[in-house]
Copies of this chain bind each other. A is one copy, B any other.
Amino acid sequence: MRNVSIIGIGQTQVGELWEMSLRDLGAQAVRAAMRDAHIENADALYIGNMLSGEAAGQAHLGPLMAEAVGLRGVEAVKVEAACGSAAYALRLAYLAVAGGMHDTVIVLGVEKMTDRAPGRVTNGLVTAADGETEAAQGLSFVSINALLMQRYLHEFGWAHRDFAQFAVNAHLNAAGNPHAMFHNLITPADFDKAKMVASPINLLDSSPMADGAAAVIITADPIAKEFAERPVRIKASTSATDSIALADRRDLLTLDAARKSALKAYDIAGLKPADIDLFELHDAFTIMSALSLEAAGFAERGQGVRLALNDDIGIEGRLPISTMGGLKGRGHPVGATGLYQVVEAAQQLRGQAGRNQLQNARIAMAQNIGGSGATVTTHILEAWR
């Protein structure tokens, strides 16, 4: 098994980008990554995307994007795992390179969510849940997360306002990220009085629908030395599933797939939670931040929210999360999000995080979640010395 490193990263602005098509977005991110890696070719192109059929009237992104980035003919395919699509595309690329079947693979996450009516996109998003037992009962994707948050508040005795710092931190960090969708700061008071979406989840608990694309290029380590000034090694890549429907879970408030995926990643990397210098977690909703922190071993069950209350999660904190704004502040183009997380972790490890740069960050973890926790893919990254 070969060591694998990231040798190029690229990303577009995140936001309501009505002047750019899905194709434009993907091409811009990939070309940026190719320039960064100083490469002009690759063995394959893997694309994470969730909603292109529903929200952009376009399937079959493999050949579409291969041609758009100037690589007509190269093998290319789309991978879908709801909001966890992009990290899974990276995992498939990792497997091919680590096993010696490909040398260099470009991985793209791309999503165009804002061109069609929001209702249509809302209907698209709930296809991440169980169509027969959840969507058919009228649940939306927000209301599924609202059930989780309501149960969390009930079972552990927290108040909704205890989650404020997750959103405040995300907006603070997004303000320092030029690619982020939001650059406005918010206060705990803003969080308290934000419009209700699906009780107890309000607008500031929720990440925004957005357009965007992010790309990474990976290769085997001996080759990486030739191309990249600052390669970032993939120390571990893991994925696991849980039941797609909440009602079938072993425990509603434990993300079993996140736990399994994180534990396996620690094991492969020979690391423990205390070794992680930053954690790009899947903060689609504030409740997901708390549950992710618990599943990855940074807090006991029901205590994840305490890290926010103590501000352990800020840039200067014990465990910085969402360091470039996270899904909440940078924006959440669903099928692209998992690669934004990896690109941002790489920016930190390469010392290119600008105003948000962490001091001495050496090990980063990125965890991308599909659905309400049904697909979870974890990557641990390490700066080359």
Contacts and interface: CB of A to CB of B under 8 A. Distances in A.
A246 B47 CA distance: 22
A275 interface: no
A57 B99 CA distance: 36
A215 B305 CA distance: 43
This chain: copies in complex: 2
A240 interface: yes
A329 interface: no
A215 to B, nearest CB: 17
A379 to B, nearest CB: 14
Contacts of A88: 62, 77
Interface string A370-382: 1100110000000
B375 A67 contact: no
B81 A78 contact: yes
Contact of A80 (B74, B80, B241): B80
A330 interface: no
A53 interface: yes
A257 to B, nearest CB: 7
A127 interface: yes
Interface in A124-168: 124, 127-132, 135
Contact of A375 (B77, B82, B248): B77
A244 to B, nearest CB: 5
Contacts of A371: 60, 63
B77 A242 contact: no
Nearest to A371: B60
Contacts of A1: 100-101
B82 A60 contact: yes
Interface string A215-247: 000000000000000000000001111111000
A243 B63 contact: yes
A54 interface: yes
Q: Which 3 A-B residue pairings sit nearest by Cβ, starting from the closest?
A: A99-B99, A63-B374, A59-B127
Given A56-B131, A95-B95, 14 more contacts: A52-B127, A53-B124, A59-B124, A60-B128, A60-B370, A60-B375, A62-B88, A63-B241, A64-B130, A72-B242, A73-B241, A92-B92, A95-B99, A99-B99
Interface of A: 1, 21, 23, 50-54, 56-64, 66-67, 72-82, 88, 92, 95-96, 98-102, 124, 127-132, 135, 238-244, 248, 256-257, 260, 370-371, 374-375
